[in-house]
Chain A
């Protein structure tokens, strides 16, 4: 069974204080690892897809990295508008098929001004 564990569950940072969120996973046949951001009352918003160990993706103050067992979402000099719940998900599958995404429970990030 595919599993995704995110840590910490919640994180409070001061504006400008960089940190990292962790996503550990076990999956048979990783097709991709994904990061989403979810604001209160909204659906998740796609951020990144990582396909293989060693891959990195960047977007503004966010950088996602991937190893064979975990992924990190690094947040550099965050601003209050970065406050949200960050969700990690994996997709398994082989051949021509692809499974639905398996999500972690998320990290609730609060950036204080």
Chain B
């Protein structure tokens, strides 16, 4: 059974640019969540999607956005990149309709902003 797939795994951008990250959940999983992981703040919740609808959103500025497609694949976008956006962005999927915390994480997309 294939796990959660995130692309790209690594990317380098400069300040002011925008970036789009992609996530393919485990087959059959309809809930997709995104988290940002940094050494200073740890893992922080960005948002969660279920059936193409955003169900929850963390405390991040509007530059961070996402969407989910009908096949449950998800993308997140960060516009007007700042140095502080450098982080590992993790996508996680889950099977049940109501998120019970049992998440299956991908290996992440490591973003470096110069």
Tell me the A residues contacting B by CB distance below 8 Å: 31-32, 34, 41-46, 49, 87, 89, 91, 96-106
**Interface 1/0 per residue, B97-108 and A, CB below 8 Å:** 011111111111
* 23 A-B contacts (beta carbon < 8 Å): A31-B100, A31-B101, A32-B100, A32-B101, A43-B105, A43-B106, A43-B107, A44-B43, A45-B105, A49-B102, A87-B42, A87-B43, A91-B101, A96-B98, A98-B56, A98-B100, A99-B56, A100-B45, A100-B47, A101-B33, A101-B101, A103-B42, A105-B42
Q: What is the minimal beta-carbon distance from A104 to any residue of chain B, in angstroms?
A: 7
Q: List B residues 14-50 near A (Cβ within 8 Å).
A: 33, 35, 41-48
- Tally of B interface residues using CB under 8 Å: 27
B-chain residues with CB within 8 Å of residue A89 when the two chains form the complex: 43, 101
User: Is B104 in contact with A46, judged by CB distance below 8 angstroms?
Assistant: yes
Closest to B44 in A: A103
B11 shortest CB reach to chain A, Å: 16
